[in-house]
Amino acid sequence: MLRLAVTFVLAAVLTGCSAKEPGTPSAGNQTGGTPTAGTSAGTAPVNRPKAVDLKTLDPCSLITAETKATLGLRIVEPGNPLPEYGEGSKRCNLTYEDRKYIANIHTLVNGGVDRLKQTTGEAKLTSLQIAGYPAYLTQRDSPGSAGACEVYIDANDGQLLLVDGVAGFGDSSATVDGACERAKALANAAGAALATK
C-alpha cells in the first residue's frame, strides 16, 4: 500500500513540473533566430515581419535615397531625442521640398502598445497595418501649426517606432489630413526598411 501511495505522489510531482502556465517559458517553445512574433500586451502574440530592437536603430537609416526622392523629402538629419521616450531613444528630423510639412521619426524604448493606450487613450487610436506591422494612428494639436498626425508602429515588445507629420507652420494650405497622408506614406516606407534590419 505504501509503495502505491509513493507512486501516486511521485506521478503528481512530475505532472506539476511539466505543466505550462500562460506566459511562462518552457523548453518546448524555445526558438532560434530572430523572433517574428512577440507579446506587446503580454497576452496575445503580435505578428510582425521582424521584431527589431529599437535601442540599436538609427531612425534616419530607415530613409533611403529612393524614399527621399519619392516622398519629396529635402532634409533628413538626426535630431535631439525626447527624454519622455526613454533612455537611448533616437530621433530623425525630416523636412519636405514644398516646406508645407515637417516630419519626425522617433524610437520609443520605454513602453509599447499597452503604455500607448494608457497615455493616449485607446478611444483616440485608430488601428492600421503599416508594412505588415500592427500600428496605431492618432491626431493631436501642435502649437503654431494646423495640427499633427502620429503613426505608432509596434516594432518590438515594449518598443514603438513613432512617425509623425506636422502641418506647416504659418501655411494655411497645410492641413491635419495632409499631415496624416504624409505620416502614413513615411511610416510605410520606414516600416518596409525596418523589416530588413
Residue 194 predicted with pLDDT over 60: yes
Are 28 and 114 within one domain? Answer: no
Residue 2 predicted with pLDDT over 90: no
Question: What is the pLDDT at residue 43?
Answer: 56
The most distant pair of C-alpha atoms in the chain lies apart, rounded to whole Å, by 90
Which tens digits make up the pLDDT trace of 60-113? 999 999 999 999 999 999 999 999 999 999 999 999 999 899 999 999 999 999
CA distances (Å), origin 156, targets 85, 100, 103, 107 = 15, 32, 22, 11
Q: Residue 77 has which C-alpha cell?
A: 538629419
Given its phi and psi angles, is residue 189 left (phi above 0), alpha (psi -120 to 50 degrees) or beta? alpha
DSSP category for residue 61: G
Are 41 and 63 within one domain? Answer: no
Are 134 and 186 within one domain? Answer: yes
Mean pLDDT for 118-138 is 96
Are 94 and 12 within one domain? Answer: no
R_g (Cα) of the chain, nearest Å:
22
pLDDT > 70: percent of the chain: 78
Backbone CA torsion sign across 36, 38, 40, 43: positive
Are 121 and 159 within one domain? Answer: yes
Are 98 and 159 within one domain? Answer: yes
The number of folded domains in the chain is 2
DSSP category for residue 116: H
For the chain, how many residues are written? 197
Q: Residue 39 has which C-alpha cell?
A: 507579446
Question: What is the pLDDT at residue 50?
Answer: 95
Q: Domain holding 146: CATH number?
A: 3.40.1000
Residue 3 predicted with pLDDT over 70: no
Amino acid at 180: C
Given its phi and psi angles, is residue 8 left (phi above 0), alpha (psi -120 to 50 degrees) or beta? alpha
If you write DSSP's letter for every residue of 109-139 in order, what string do you get? -S--HHHHIIIIIGGG-EEEEETTEEEEEEE
Are 183 and 102 within one domain? Answer: yes
Are 39 and 115 within one domain? Answer: no
Question: What is the pLDDT at residue 157?
Answer: 96
Rounded to the nearest integer, the mean pLDDT of the chain is 82
pTM, entire model = 0.77
Asked if residues 11 and 4 have their Cβ atoms less than 8 Å apart, the reply is no
Q: Which domain holds residue 155?
A: 54-194
Between 60 and 18, residue with greater pLDDT: 60
